[in-house]
Every structure is written in C-alpha cells, then in structure tokens.
Amino acid sequence: MNQAKPIGAALAALTLGVCAALAQEPAENMSFFVTSANPGQGGNLGGLDGADAHCQSLAEAVGAGDKTWRAYLSTSSVDARDRIGDGPWHNAAGVEIASGIDDLHGADNNLTAESALNEKGEAPNYLGGNPPAPLAQPLQHDILTGTNEDGTASEMTCNDWTDGSANSQATLGHADRMGRNPGVNSWTSVHPSQGCAMENLTPTGGAGMFYCFAE
C-alpha cells in the first residue's frame, strides 16, 4: 500500500505533464506564426539565413520543425512574397490566414489581432478596442518586414538584416492591423522604424519580431 501511493502519484503527475505538453502543441497544419522573440540584436538578424534559422528554431521548439520555415523579410535583392511558398497558411490554432499569395496580400486576408499568433499559439501584446489602445504592455504590434503592401522590397531593411544600430531603418507592419491610421492597417507596411537597435524598435510599439511562413 505504501509503495502504491508514490507510484500512483507519479503516474498522475506524468499524465498531467503529457496532457499539458499536448495542449501546448500547435495544430499540425500550422504554417504561419509571429516570432515570440527577437534573436537579440534588433534588426541584425544575421541576414535572411539567420532569420530563417530563428524561424526554424522556434518551430522546432514547439514540435513543428518538420517543415521548412522562412522569414517574411525582403532585402535589396529579394522580395518577401517570393520566399514563402504558395500557401495556404494556417496559424497555431489551425485557422487559415490566407489561401495563397494574392489572398495574403489582398484586402480580405484573415490576419487580425485574433489570428496573428506566435508559434506557441499566444497573441503578442496588441491593440484592441475603439479607439485602439494597448491591451497589455509593452506593445508589440510593430513587425519587421522591409516590405511594401504588395510583398515587394521596400528601401528600409536594416541593411538587409545585418545592422542592429540606430543608423538604419526598417519598414514595419502592424500584426493586429490597428494603429493611428484610420481603418485597417497594413500587416506589412505602416511606418518606418526609428532605427534598427532594440531601443529604437520599442518606442513605437515593437519588440523586433517578424513573421515566419512554412513553404
């Protein structure tokens, strides 16, 4: 009897642990997420290769590393829209974001504050309400893209994602599609950053995060 109790308790704890782990796993069809964190150097992501590796690492951490992940970022020679495959794309909850490239860059895609989740299935600190106001602090809706609304490269890419200083800039989108601009804000191109260092990204409501898509 005395031995049975510890064994039973251990089995119960193991069962709860397994259930918790399963609950945190993203949907099998997850093919889009907002990064839950910046690699640590602001706009210096190690170029596209470093950004892709960060996407892959975050996906692997939640059991979705069996896909090829690409950062939605443009450079002086690459358009973000040409890096991410053909779609469709779904978030960590299995909700479709867009059916294809044209849908993704059209007015009727399903990128919203509710659907733009990170790889853990969590929503970053976005705006909400009318008029929009931060739902939590620090605000994290500014997303690094270096990209125009049609998915082509802008002129601001933190020197092709190799510069984490105050001397360069990046085009930012709003993942929650809300902001000072009236109506629905662009998820790719709303305003430039104040710089590419982390201390330049946070004042306008960013945390150096970017979008990741599975090809």
Confidence (pLDDT) at 13: 40
Model confidence pLDDT, tens digit, residues 45-72 = 999 999 999 999 999 999 999 999 999 9
Asked if 160 and 149 count as a contact pair (C-beta separation under 8 A), the reply is no
Please compute the mean of the pLDDT values over residues 193-198 and round it to a whole number.
98
Give the separation between CA 115 and CA 96, rounded to whole angstroms: 9
Mean pLDDT of 8-13: 39
Q: Where are the domains of the chain?
A: 27-214
Of 189, 188, 210, 206, residue with least CA distance to 197: 206
| For the chain, percent of residues with pLDDT exceeding 90 | 85
Kindly state the tokens that stand for 94. 């299995």
Instruction: Compute the mean pLDDT over every residue in the chain, rounded to the nearest whole number.
Output: 90
pLDDT band at 116 (very low <50, low <70, confident <90, very high): very high
Q: What pTM was computed for the model?
A: 0.88
Task: Report d(CA 165, CA 195) in Å as an integer.
Answer: 7
Neighbours of 69 (CB within 10 A): 25
Please state the rounded mean pLDDT for residues 32-40: 97
The predicted-structure confidence for 15-28, as pLDDT tens digits, reads as follows 334 333 434 689 99
Find where tokens 């106001």 sit. Answer: 133
Contacts of 11 (CB under 8 A, 6+ apart): none
Position 24 scores a pLDDT of: 63
Give the pLDDT confidence of 131-158 residue by residue, as tens digits: 899 999 999 999 999 999 999 999 999 9
Contacts of residue 171, defined as CB under 8 A and 6 or more positions apart, other chains included, come to 145, 146, 147, 148, 154, 156, 157, 188, 189, 191, 192, 193
Topology at the third CATH level for domain 27-214: Mannose-Binding Protein A; Chain A (3.10.100)
